[in-house]
Amino acid sequence: MRKIVLATIGSLGDLHPFIAIGLALKARGFAVVLAVPADHVAKVEAAGLTGVAIIGGFDALTETLGMPPDQVAKRIMADQTYLMNRILMPWLADSTTALDGAMEGAVALIASLFVFAAPIVAETRGVPLVNVLLQPMATFSAMRRPAHPTSR
Amino acid sequence: MIGVGKTLSSKHFTIARAGAAITAVLTDRMRERAAQVGAQVARENGAEAAADAIAALVVVRG
């Protein structure tokens, strides 16, 4: 059975479409692994798919940043560079190692925007990478910079 | 504009503005529009289409 890894780092709005695609691939005979934040693994398993953690959950995030959850959410929404510089980049090395481990024997990697480890792992393993763009702000254009009403 | 939501700026967020936005989305007109969009999205069957495209890619590559 050919194995496909689906990787997403984000909210439930990112996770749910990935579970749906994972179930559809499973129905087509693929062995599906979802590589997700630690606090999403149980939800993936409850849906009948295999889940692997490639990054800490929101609890680990609030602990690392030393802020309560509501403040973390507010900072992320108010400043996109905060998400990049304080969360995604410091966790990149570990998530690359974890995702690479999950990719053992896989024939393809399907990933959402914030899984920066995905292109690295796909290239080193020589497997195709499918980028999934779930949000209008993820659709980059030379004509107009990506933005939502509160971004800067 | 799809017409099924309201956007609030986090920089200018106040309880009064949030209250007005919540009141605005809880109207029958908004509910009916959301139901129409929901039915349209359900017909698209995006997960199945995505899985077909991914499976085709893997088959092509062997």
Local confidence pLDDT in tens for the 152 residues of chain A? 899 999 999 889 999 999 999 999 999 999 999 999 999 999 999 999 999 999 998 888 888 888 888 898 888 888 878 888 888 899 999 999 999 999 999 999 999 988 999 999 999 999 999 999 888 777 777 776 666 655 55
- Closest Cα of chain A to B46: distance in Å? 8
Name the strand (E) or helix (H) holding A140: none
Tell me the two tokens of residue B8. 């609030």
The C-alpha angle with vertex B50 and arms to A44 and A53, in degrees rounded to 5, equals 25
What pLDDT sits at residue A147? 63
CB half-sphere exposure, A130, CA atoms < 13 A: 21
Neighbours of A35 (CB within 10 A): 33
Place of tokens 């993936």: A44
CA distance B62 to B52: 15
Domain hosting residue B53, numbered range: 15-61
Please check whether residue A95 is in contact with residue A54, taking contact to mean a CB–CB distance below 8 angstroms.
yes
Domain total in chain B: 1
Which domains are delineated in chain A? Answer: 3-55+92-135 (3.40.50.2000), 57-90 (no CATH)
What's the burial of A106, exposed, middle or buried (CB within 10 Å: 0-12/13-18/19+)?
Answer: buried
CB neighbour list of residue A37: distance below 8 Å, 6 or more residues apart: A9, A53, A54, A55, A56, A57, A58
Which residues of chain B are at the A interface, by a Cβ-Cβ cutoff of 8 Å?
Answer: 7, 9-11, 46-48, 50-51, 53-55, 57-58, 61
Across A21-25, B4-8, B33-37, least confident range: B4-8
pLDDT at residue number B44: 87
List CB contacts (< 8 A) between A74 and chain B: 10
- pTM equals 0.79
Quote the pLDDT of residue A148.
60
On whether residue B6 sits in a domain, the answer given is no
Q: How far apart are CA A6 and CA A19, in angstroms?
A: 9
- What is each CA distance from A109 to A14, A41, B58, in whole angstroms? 16, 18, 10
Cα-based angle A123, A48, A73 (whole degrees, multiple of 5): 65
ipTM of this complex: 0.81
Instruction: Report chain B residues whose CB lies below 8 A from the CB of A106.
Output: none
Cβ contacts from A onto B, under 8 A: 47
Q: What is the pLDDT of residue B59?
A: 80
